[in-house]
Structure 1
Amino acid sequence: MDIYAFTNGRPYFRAGWHDEDVITVFSNVTVDLVNVAPAEDAVLSVLVIFGNATVIVPAGAKIAVGGFSMFGGRSLAITPASAGARMQLTLSSVFGNIRVVEGTPSPSIEAPSAKPMTGKTVQLQPDKRA
């Protein structure tokens, strides 16, 4: 569970996430799910009280949405899809707004090579200054 109060935030989930909660009070939060594939039938619950949340989902993701809004709103700017892992979004707001938008994956950063370093070996000498 990620809780944000009186601060802005950007929670991060691991690939294969299944059940996550994000609560924000007097805060703004962006939840970016584009590069972290969920497990099948993953559930994300977002509760906003006096704040805003943006949920960025992968383009073409299967999304089911539930929740409520009281003196606030929810908006979805996504294309319905039939492929990919299904996600359940429970979006609830009180005096706040939640919007769901599509995003595209950013290029992955390659991990450094595991090959041993080659080149000249340098031996460090102790500093002789006193």
Structure 2
Amino acid sequence: MSNVLARRGRSYAYKLVLLQAVIVGITTILLFALWGVQFGISALAGAIIAVFPNFVFATLAFSHAGASASGKVVHSFFLGEAVKLLLTIVLFAIAFGLLNVVFTPLFITYVIGLLVPWTAPLYFKQN
């Protein structure tokens, strides 16, 4: 039963990450088409910074489920959130340190990526 719960939670989280990737992907393509390669690369960096840590979090956080594994569930959520935060910091450092990114498109796509999970109830019906 707990494996079914973990699988259901992971499936929902992956759907949300996929939706997030699609929306920031469309934003990246639009910025690339309207303002050129430099804006497109910067927007892509913001998209990766928004999506990849959430994918890692979903993978780690939903590795356990059920009442008998409640300690593991809490630990996996804390570990997932810690890794997500560290990945976000590292990816921002890489974007600003190694890439020649434009500030505005990077943050536009990053913020759009952050808004998708907040608006998830609008996209998915919960049973």
TM-score normalised by length of structure 1: 0.22
Q: Which has the higher contact order (CA 8 A, sep 6+)?
A: 2
Higher helix share: 2
Higher strand share: 1
| Higher Rg | 1
